[in-house]
Amino acid sequence: RKEVEQDPGPFNVPEGATVAFNCTYSNSASQSFFWYRQDCRKEPKLLMSVYSSGNEDGRFTAQLNRASQYISLLIRDSKLSDSATYLCVVNLNYGGSQGNLIFGKGTKLSVKP
Amino acid sequence: NAGVTQTPKFRVLKTGQSMTLLCAQDMNHEYMYWYRQDPGMGLRLIHYSVGEGTTAKGEVPDGYNVSRLKKQNFLLGLESAAPSQTSVYFCASRPVGAQETQYFGPGTRLLVL
């Protein structure tokens, strides 16, 4: 089983739609969680951290379920500019891991007019 | 504050040639990382460093060497390039802290013929 798994997509949605991405992780020792956004031919950029209590940043909501080892990202009222690949990222941060990040392969989102 | 910068942005090599990729960060971060990103493979960690003068192997270290002589710089070397090393290389850095995430440079596109 891969350490961080995501549906690769692509998700093709119309402007204004609500879209949800899911991610599962295999290592229960994982300590912190993030969603990154990567535009075509660009570097990954931090979108938001994910906390157990859930957190919201404008149209974006992230949720974490430690019991199920499951992370989600919800985007409301999709914009054309939301088109990108969304990476689910986990920080093991234990023992010899030195806080290295484990990246999912990403879910591609395409928002159409 | 330039963040994380990478040199060069693009390079073409012939099989067997050597080259060094430079990563520089001006955020006084302790930790630095080199990744490669290939289609369908996601980001994979090559080597990392937890401080000046220290380096460690990541997931895919073979064929690469690194050095961290100064805190702000992390060099990735290819001694004898192979076509399998054609990829996009990203450098990242982060501060010390369990919940801290990584900040990426713009990437270096390498083509080995």
Partner A contacted by B58 (CB < 8 A): yes
Q: Identity (one letter) of the amino acid at B54?
A: T
Partner A contacted by B43 (CB < 8 A): yes
Q: Which residues of A touch B95 (CB under 8 A)?
A: none
The b-or-e profile of B37-49 (16+ CB within 10 A means b, else e) is beeeebbebbbbb
Average pLDDT over residues A14-43: 91
Mind listing the pLDDT tens digit for each residue in A79-92? Answer: 999 999 999 999 87
Q: What's the number of CA atoms in the CB half-sphere (13 Å) around residue A106?
A: 24
Q: Are the beta carbons of B106 and A43 separated by less than 8 Å? A: yes
Mind listing the pLDDT tens digit for each residue in A35-77? Answer: 999 999 899 999 999 988 889 999 999 999 999 999 999 999 9
Res. B66 pLDDT band, cuts 50 70 90: very high
Q: Which residues of B touch A105 (CB under 8 A)?
A: 40-42
- Interface A–B counts its CB contacts (< 8 A) at 50
In the DSSP assignment, the letter for residue B39 is T
Peptide bond into A44 cis (omega under 30): no
Res. B12 pLDDT band, cuts 50 70 90: very high
Q: Are the beta carbons of B106 and A104 separated by less than 8 Å? A: no
